[in-house]
Amino acid sequence: DGGITQSPKYLFRKEGQNVTLSCEQNLNHDAMYWYRQDPGQGLRLIYYSQIVNDFQKGDIAEGYSVSREKKESFPLTVTSAQKNPTAFYLCASRKTEQGSFRGYTFGSGTRLTVV
């Protein structure tokens, strides 16, 4: 079955360390997204990519970086510049071509705790 995989599910890091969250999809989706969710809140867009080797900042990109070297992969790095990195991180993907259903498919998330 096709899907989108995030790893690890739980991640602990010390303050000041960079950490990279993995997101892989085998759905042949063109677009991929990273969202952050804080307790009781909706999802906030960090970065997104519509095509390989291209990505755009979302609403809260500061302190984060991404790469899109392969269609299947969209890793997110949480840098030490992110002031409050503890959160639940969600990766999503979707088709972008005309006529296709453009709903999002989400991964199961990574809960990052910085101590």
Partner 1 sequence: DAKTTHPPSMDCAEGRAANLPCNHSTISGNEYVYWYRQIHSQGPQYIIHGLKNNETNEMASLIITEDRKSSTLILPHATLRDTAVYYCIVRVYNYGQNFVFGPGTRLSVLP
Of the pair 15, 101, the CB lying nearest partner 1 is at: 101
Report CA-CA distances (Å) from 56 to 21, 27, 38, 46. 18, 21, 22, 9
Angle at alpha carbon of residue 82, lines to 71 and 76, rounded to 5°: 10
Q: Near partner 1 by CB under 8 A, which window of 12-20, 30-38, 66-74, 75-83?
A: 30-38
Q: Give the Cα separation of 108 and 77 in Å (integer).
A: 18
Task: Quote the least distance from Cβ 9 to partner 1, whole Å.
Answer: 9
Of the pair 15, 54, the CB lying nearest partner 1 is at: 54
Task: Give exposure, 76-111, as e/b (b: 16+ Cβ within 10 Å).
Answer: bebeeebeebebebbbbbbbeeeeeeeeeebbebbe
* 34 counts as binding partner 1 under rule CB under 8 A: no
- The contact mask relative to partner 1 for 52-71 (x = CB under 8 A, - = no) is ------x-------------
Q: Near partner 1 by CB under 8 A, which window of 12-20, 66-74, 79-87, 100-108?
A: 100-108
Q: What is the DSSP letter of 70?
A: B
Which positions lie near partner 1, rule CB under 8 A? 31, 33, 35, 40-43, 45, 48, 50, 58, 88, 90-92, 96, 98-99, 102-109, 111
